[in-house]
Every structure is written in structure tokens, then in C-alpha cells.
Amino acid sequence: MLATLKEILSETRKNKYAVPAFDVNNLETFKAVVDIAEEEKSPVIAMVLDPDMKSCTLRYLVPMMKEVAASSRIPVCIHLDHGADIQTVARYISLGFNSVMLDASTLSLSENIRVTSQVVEFAHAAGISVEAELGHVGVGLSDSAEDIKGFFTVPSEVEEFVEKTGVDALAVAIGTAHGPYRGQPRLDIDRLKDIVKITDTPLVLHGGSLTPDDQVKEAIAAGISKLNIATELRMALFKGLKATISELPEHASLHEIYEKPMEMMKQLVREKIHLCGSYNRA
């Protein structure tokens, strides 16, 4: 069934689990995520990054994604990940997404509040959930550990932000980064606990890929409701393709070529569902 982000995350903090969110960019990767979530009886969030897509492709893809979600026995949210501006968010809403993220995290607090509030106003009027980011989750390979620490969410800003914007979910920066890490991350769980005390708004951990499982579990126990996974899903697909190409003849069928990569992706999805504790929650 198609569900909003707000609906999917509503019970997470109370019951100490998170819902995994996976970046997909075609029907095959989307179905791989939904099929395993259905097997595990887990709600799931399928995300799209705008730089990975072309509007002409989305025009055909979104109706298929919505058809798969509507016929599924589990709650499925179709979510825009890291919408860069109001125009991008509005475009994805017009395409049929039922959840969006506006990432204005590099702006000042007042500007972040201003533009996020605008998105919340028109998205909520259409029954669509909104995620925003306070603090800034950097990039593991280009930002130093000190840079990442300098981007951390400031707890004292959280109350003003959620009250003035009315967001349905808030991404926080507590030590993760997008993509591979140059070193070992160390999440600031105490900072996360301070934020949890301030707001009931579901909290999101971006940069979930390659973050040690013990730290992810600790973050979920402390109050994280949504865990974003992109890099590891791509890595699983790439490893499967490399292994397949080295084994199969050039005249192999497309089914043979994609069989192992899809299996490896599905195994990764299953592992993250269990890491988040979302199995048997649908």
C-alpha cells in the first residue's frame, strides 16, 4: 500500500525501531527493495535522487512505482531524497511523489526555516510529507573529520526549527557522512539524545551506508526513526555485475546478467531491514 513518510514513521520512536530508506533509480531496483521488504513484512521507503534521474524517465517510472506500491501488502513510501530547491520539490510532487525532502542545510538557520516553511505549506495542502535537514551531513571522501564535526546539528536550534516549519521528519548531523568514509566514524549519541529530548519529530540518519552496525543500533535505540542507504546498495549491484561479467559469455541474456546483482542487492536490503528492526512491523 502507498503510505506517506509521516504514516510510516509514526510508531518508530515509541517502539525503538527505524525504517530503512533506499535510493533507487529504475523499476528493477525499486522492485528489489519492495519485494524483500514484503518478504520481511517491513514498511519501506524508496527514495530517488534528482541527479540520478531525468524527468522524461520519471514520467514513466513513477506510475509503475505507484502501481507496485499500491498492490503491495506493506506500507511503501516514494520519497524525493535531497531536493535542492523549492522548484525541484514542486516538480516531484507534480510527478506523483507522496513524500519529499528539501535540503536547505547549507543555508543560514533563518533561510533554512523560511524555504522549508514554504515547502511544508504547499506539500501539506496536498497531503504530502516533508523531511528537512538541520546541521549538514557532509561527504566522507571530501570532508575531513573536523569538517564533519563542524556541520553537527546544534540542539538549541531544533525547537525553533521544527515549530516554525512543521516538518514531518528531521535529518540530523551527528557524525555520519555520505558515501565511503576516509576513517572510522564516531557518532555523537549524546548530541542525538539531547535532540530527542527537545522534539517528538521523527529523526533521520543520512549516510547510513558503511556506518558500523553497533553505532547504527545505538542511534536507533536513542531515537533515530529513518536510516538512509544509497552507497552500499550501489556497491552490492556493482560487485554483482563485476562477478557476472567475468563469468558469463558476451551473448548471455539480460536475465542472466542481472540475476546475481539483484540477488546481492536484495541480500543487502534484507540485512538493513534486520539492522533497523523493522521486520514484522507491517
pLDDT at 140: 55
Please indicate whether residue 200 is annotated as part of the active site: no
Domains identified in the chain and CATH numbers: 5-276 (3.20.20.70)
99 is in an annotated binding site: no
Catalytic residue among 23, 50, 81, 143: 81
133 is in an annotated binding site: yes
103 is in an annotated binding site: yes
What pTM, to 2 d.p., does this model score? 0.94
pLDDT at 141: 59
208 is in an annotated binding site: yes
The rounded average pLDDT for each run of 10 residues, N- to C-terminus, in the chain (282 residues) is 97 97 94 97 97 81 95 97 96 96 97 98 98 84 63 96 98 88 86 98 95 97 98 94 87 87 96 98 96
Nearest in space to 244 (alpha carbons), one of 260, 267, 266: 260
pLDDT at 142: 58
230 is in an annotated binding site: yes
Answer whether 203's CB lies under 8 Å from 219's CB.
Answer: no
pLDDT at 252: 85
pLDDT at 148: 62
List, in sequence order, every beta strand (DSSP E) within the chain.
Answer: 19-23, 44-49, 76-83, 99-102, 129-134, 169-172, 203-205, 224-229
179 is in an annotated binding site: yes
Q: Cell numbers of 78, please?
A: 516514494
Cβ neighbours for 170, distance < 8 A, ≥ 6 positions apart: 131, 132, 133, 134, 158, 161, 162, 199, 201, 202, 203, 204
229 is in an annotated binding site: yes
